[in-house]
A and B are shown apart, each in its own frame.
Chain A
Amino acid sequence: MESAAASYVSLADLKSSHNVLATPAEAPAHVGCGTSGGEGKASCGTSAGPDDMPAHVWDKVKNHPCYSEEAHHHYARMHVAVAPACNIQCNYCNRKYDCSNESRPGVVSQKLTPEQAVKKVVAVASEIPQMTVLGVAGPGDSLANPKKTFDTFRMLQEQAPDIKLCLSTNGLALPDLVDEICKYNIDHVTITINMVDPEIGAKIYPWIFWDHKRITGVEASRILHEQQMKGLEMLTARGVLTKINSVLIPGINDAHMIEVNKAVKARGAFLHNIMPLISEAEHGTVFGLTGQRGPTAQELKAVQDACMGGANLMRHCRQCRADAVGLLGEDRSEEFTLDKIEEMEVVYDLDRRRTYQERVEAERQAQHAAKVEALAATEGNEAAKDIKVLVAVATTGGGRVNQHFGHADEFQIFEVSAGEALFVGHRRVDLYCQGGYGEDEQLPSIVNAINDCHAVLVSKIGACPRDELKGAGIEPVDAYADEFIEKAALSWFADYTGRVARGEIAHAERGDASIRQGAFTAAA
């Protein structure tokens, strides 16, 4: 993101402006996920609110940006790279890779000792009071490095007892460490489960290290699968919330994903996060080198939609790095390198953090209520029962259409039909505006990323991209600037279907869109 520092609107400014709330009154309103529970729950997983789940569960997820779609706009997380070792090999992972412009999972710039990690967490928590969650997510496997992972947790708990701890793992070592996990009051564990059929697993995992041996083939995946299922069951039995991450690999596990969803739901998984494979030759992964492609946006959505009704789906994952810092979708890790932490004067003020978080919570409740009220006033469109379209939305947060087209580095995607606008995902794009001018060569990639959408809702848009988008069949819409997203989407939809009904335009299906691969920034 640093590459945008010299641009017309500094991305860093944009990010920090809605990251740090100056005063609650000036704070941006809450960004919704399409619904606040009820019918939308299955597609939007954790957009569910306190009315949709038992109080003790809500208590665990409400401040966790990965477990609660709503929370992710208000609370930040960080990962510390204390766990470099791994006990399995995955075909989508290259352990040699390290690049600061890269946002793939598992990639880090600097591995840390537990002592360094704790220092970093305390420094970040002092600087970013809404940082509520610390995760150990690699770059290897947290549980293949149990001493480093648990040393980090133990030391952090002594210094910053209010920070929630979580970890992610491939599950191989999980059953042996469940009791240890519970000792540290870890409420959230993510397990990456890509298959429940070892024959399929053999195409994803070339080997595992197990019982002092390297085991290959179907046998390796059989052992991994058994450990994953056992570990998941044990966590569920102990009341630990689990999120299952699955990498969607076309031709390998796409048709199988519904089985994975059923299997993890049956064992009590709280959330299922189906993520697209990121695969480019330059990543040097086995899949990158064999030309295994990732799914298109519509392929990913089709699988996610097919899994609705099973385990709740997470649709707001940004596939962040194993050393990411900040709100989901942003990475402030550059501000907290070891050198910089050394120079910081760190005062861990628990009361200040609590006071700040109480303000965040009050603001969040107020925004939520305002949105519910705005939506209640929106009339459904009974005439357009058969039409369902996607719209892309440019937003800086607050649940409103409030971002200039040229300043968007991602679009939220809503599926809109008569009376309902549902958050179904997001698309990263290369920034259109750099240095104050539109970059025309960026536009085709933005069009590709939202090519399955009928419209893009923005606060403003220049004449040039407006014409280009129209040419590509995507309607640029700036008539609903600063409206709540769902209200804006439904109003546009009513207008659109009205025009269709009057014969002014013909409704046509849109094509597919591509998922942005690899590097976080457009240009270094």
Chain B
Amino acid sequence: MSLKIIANLCTGCSACEPECPNEAISELKNLFVIDPDKCTECEGDYDTPQCVAVCPIDDCILPLQTQAA
């Protein structure tokens, strides 16, 4: 399970990066990406994925599966 940042919605604001308990988020060409191998959707750490809760743009961060489908 993992979340994905939709690149054309990401503003590169960096709010998500420090909130991730797994250090799965990093900067890439002024935007941010999630390492699917590290992302746990915050399960076991928080009630809701932290990056989704802090992101200022609606639907910018979605489950990877939804994206693939």
Contact = CB atoms under 8 A, between A and B. Distances in A.
Interface residue range, chain B: 10 to 19
Contacts of B15: 84-87, 140, 144, 209
Interface string A209-251: 1001110000000000000000000000000000000000000
A213 B53 contact: yes
Most buried by B among A84, A86, A89, A212: A212
Contacts of A145: 14
A332 interface: no
B36 interface: no
B13 A85 contact: yes
Interface in A144-184: 144-145, 147
Most buried by A among B19, B47, B50, B56: B56
Interface in A438-458: none
Contacts of A213: 46-48, 53
Contacts of A89: 56
B15 to A, nearest CB: 4
B30 to A, nearest CB: 8
Given A214-B53, A214-B54, A84 B48 contact: no
B57 A111 contact: no
A30 to B, nearest CB: 40
A95 interface: yes
A170 B54 CA distance: 15
Given A84-B12, A85-B14, A95 B47 contact: no
Contact of A95 (B11, B30, B48): B11
A96 interface: yes
A214 B14 contact: no
Nearest to A90: B56
Interface in A107-138: 111
Contacts of B12: 84, 111
Most buried by A among B11, B30, B50, B57: B11
A2 B58 CA distance: 34
Contacts of B47: 213
Interface residue range, chain A: 10 to 19
Contacts of B46: 212-213
A207 B28 CA distance: 28
Contact of B13 (A140, A147, A209, A214): A140
B43 to A, nearest CB: 14
Nearest to B47: A213
A212 B21 CA distance: 11
Given A212-B46, A213-B48, A214-B48, A87 B54 contact: yes
Contacts of A111: 12, 30
Interface string B2-41: 0000000001111101110000000000100000000000
Contacts of A84: 11-15
B35 to A, nearest CB: 19
B48 to A, nearest CB: 7
B56 A212 contact: no
Nearest to B45: A212
B9 to A, nearest CB: 8
Interface in A327-343: none
B69 to A, nearest CB: 25
Given A86-B56, A89-B56, A95-B56, A212 B50 contact: yes
Contacts of B56: 86, 89, 95
B65 to A, nearest CB: 22
A209 B11 contact: no
Given A95-B56, A95-B57, A86 B13 contact: yes
A367 B50 CA distance: 56
Nearest to B10: A96
A194 B43 CA distance: 36
A500 B47 CA distance: 72
Interface in A83-107: 84-87, 89, 95-96
A454 B56 CA distance: 45
A212 B46 CA distance: 7
Nearest to A146: B18
Nearest to A140: B13
Contacts of B17: 85
Contact of B54 (A96, A139, A147, A209): A209
Contacts of B11: 84, 95-96
Interface in A354-399: none
A209 B57 contact: no
A444 to B, nearest CB: 36
Contacts of A147: 18
B61 to A, nearest CB: 12
B4 to A, nearest CB: 19
A96 B57 CA distance: 8
A226 B46 CA distance: 24
Given A86-B15, A212-B50, A213-B53, 4 more contacts: A84-B11, A84-B14, A86-B13, A213-B46
- Which 5 A-B pairs have CB atoms at the shortest separation, nearest pair first? A85-B15, A214-B53, A84-B13, A95-B56, A209-B54
Interface of B: 11-15, 17-19, 30, 46-48, 50, 53-54, 56-57
12 contacts: A84-B11, A84-B13, A85-B13, A85-B17, A86-B13, A87-B54, A140-B13, A209-B15, A209-B19, A209-B53, A212-B19, A213-B46
